[in-house]
Amino acid sequence: MATVLVVEDDPFVRSALIRHLSDAGHAVRSVGTALEALREVAQVGCDLVILDLGLPDLDGSEALKMIRGLTNVPVIISTARDEEAEIVRLLNDGADDYLIKPFSGEHLSARMAAVLRRAGAGASPAAQLLRVGGLYIDLQRREAALDGARLDLTRREFDLLAFLAARPGVVVPRKELLAEVWRQTYGGDQTIDVHLSWLRRKLGETASNPRYLHTVRGVGVKLEAPPDAGSPTPADAGRERHR
């Protein structure tokens, strides 16, 4: 079960969300303004935020950007706005998922389970550590290292690397990457290519001379260890974190 922060100014909607989440066994805190939400995230923390866009003090889209400046906690947008351009913008700004009001408690629970599963919440410590050759990825700390050297990754680069590293040697279709990493169901080839290019640069490779990231033309992308790759230990990565 997760600790959930509900950010909703409508008292009836907020009460309904709190009741459903509590009945499902989650620990729930709630606030009615963006500033209260930022204070909660910064000072207390949580496993997931359900964020309404129509807040009285600050638009939820701006609150989302500010939350992203503080933490990588998963955020599900709760909104009555159903314009495609708005939804795409919110996802690109860091939202992990969205729900169009009105929605059922069962729909919310399913979306929460998917988001928390991707974030690794509730997984055992061992399941949150990924190693592929010289790559070491700590899902809980959201840290990655290559041959003992820490990688400076953006949020999306880390998500992409972790998603591929959890499936070593498997060719992942671009549509699956778009759906699971970007939470989009259409377009996005250029976005994927750009992020792959940035990620390759940080891994010290290129598309023409790949080591870990391999593009299979017309199919997708796979991550696999090169034959000469070493295998760092958790202690190696831990020492790197504390440098």
Show the domains of the chain with their CATH numbers. Answer: 3-119 (3.40.50.2300), 126-241 (1.10.10.10)
- Residue 239's pLDDT band (boundaries 50, 70, 90)? very low
Q: Check pLDDT > 50 for residue 199.
A: yes
Tens digits of per-residue pLDDT, 165-174? 888 888 888 8
The gap from C-alpha 106 to its chain's centroid, in whole angstroms, comes to 22
Instruction: Name which of 6-15, 41-50, 113-122, 226-235 the model is least confident about.
Output: 226-235
Give the model's pLDDT for residue 167.
86
Distances (CA, A) of 61 to 8, 49, 91, 209: 13, 13, 10, 40
Q: How buried is 187 (Cβ within 10 angstroms: 0-12 exposed, 13-18 middle, 19+ buried)?
A: exposed
Give the model's pLDDT for residue 117.
78
How many separate helices (H) and strands (E) can be counted in the chain?
A: 9, 12
Tens digits of per-residue pLDDT, 84-140? 888 888 888 888 888 888 888 888 888 888 888 777 654 444 446 888 999 999 887
Q: Check pLDDT > 70 for residue 55.
A: yes
Instruction: Say how far apart CA 188 and CA 97 lie, in whole Å.
Output: 16
Q: Helices 60-70 and 34-43 meet at what angle, rounded to 10? A: 10
Question: Structure tokens of 93?
Answer: 């700004």
Q: Check pLDDT > 60 for residue 231.
A: no
59 Cβ neighbours under 8 A, 6+ residues apart:
34, 53
Give the model's pLDDT for residue 215.
92
Do residues 9 and 54 touch, judged by C-beta distance below 8 A? yes
Instruction: Say how far apart CA 137 and CA 160 lie, in whole Å.
Output: 12
Instruction: Say how far apart CA 163 and CA 159 lie, in whole Å.
Output: 6
| Beta-strand runs (E) in the chain | 3-7, 27-31, 48-52, 75-79, 97-100, 129-132, 135-138, 143-146, 149-150, 172-173, 213-216, 220-223
Instruction: Say how far apart CA 107 and CA 222 lie, in whole Å.
Output: 32
Please identify which residue in the block is written with the tokens 């008292």: 11
Q: What are the backbone angles phi and psi of residue 40, rounded to the nearest 5°?
A: -65, -45
